[in-house]
Amino acid sequence: MDSLDRLDRLDRLAFRAARAAARRRGNRPALHPRGAALTGHLVVPGRRDRWDVPWLDVPGSYAVTARWSRGAGLPHPLPDGLGLAVRVQDAGGPGRFLDLLLTTGGRGRWTRHVPLPRTSATAGPYSTLLPYAVGGRQGVVAAFPAPGTRRIPADPGAVGAVTAGRPMVFQLCFGAAGSWRPLARLTLHGEASRPSPDGDAFDPYLALLPDFHPVDRLRSLRIAAYAGSRAGRHARPAS
């Protein structure tokens, strides 16, 4: 069996495993089954240094829908890998959105690629873990809690209740070669009144932009896993 055959087989296994897990969870996602739906906005500041990414090179504000979740669905207060899925509306122009999936990780050059379980939703950064291509550069995208952010228990009910009364603010950054550069400011200021039309099926491989997207590393496996999760819970893919 050559490497292409092995990869195809792994893709099929990833699809089936994610589909089965979603079905077992009662049509909820295979991973991150318990979460809080949020709404907010992303503000891109004016800057002198360009990214060569249209929506990052011009000051602006974008509506955001988001979902905070516990990765394995373990009950609070057990530590869990926490997730933050963010949909930036109109990032690629009217009607064209961008999805980001972030997981609690580290700040360092190597730990930013490692998922880290936590007991607080605001104790540290959320990272894409795998690299992104942003305007020709490769690095990790991460969301850092703003200085002075209060600790929020890693529980969907607590996150929804706290952000309904007081915004949860993050600095979205790009990390490469050990350093971090700011991209935008993300504010999540309340629980969404209703889920997104596609059933919260955030997918960074379907909702991407030509100059802001995940690199190809493990791409086929992740696409297969996302597709399997959607198939298992009958959610429509992003369009």
Does residue 151 form part of some domain? Answer: yes
Does residue 154 form part of some domain? Answer: yes
Does residue 17 form part of some domain? Answer: no
Comparing C-alpha atoms, which of 65, 79, 77, 67 is closest to residue 32? 67
What are the tens digits of pLDDT across the range 176-217?
Answer: 987 899 999 999 987 765 554 444 578 888 899 999 999 875
Contact 83, 68 (CB under 8 A): yes
Q: In this structure, are strands 168-176 and 34-44 parallel, antiparallel, or unpaired?
A: unpaired
Does residue 138 form part of some domain? Answer: yes
Judge if pTM exceeds 0.85: no
Alpha-carbon distance values, 222 to 18, 63, 65, 197 (Å): 10, 27, 22, 23
- Looking only at Cα atoms, what is the longest distance across the chain? 57
Contact 141, 134 (CB under 8 A): yes
Does residue 23 form part of some domain? Answer: no
Tokens of 134: 């942003």
Say which amino acid occupies 171: Q
Does residue 110 form part of some domain? Answer: yes
Total domains present in the chain: 1
What are the tens digits of pLDDT across the range 107-158?
Answer: 998 999 899 999 999 999 999 998 999 999 999 999 999 999 999 999 999 9
- The radius of gyration of the chain's CA atoms, rounded to the nearest angstrom, is 17
Does residue 94 form part of some domain? Answer: yes
Does residue 6 form part of some domain? Answer: no
Domain containing 73: what range?
Answer: 34-215
Q: What is the CATH number of the domain that holds 65?
A: 2.40.180.10
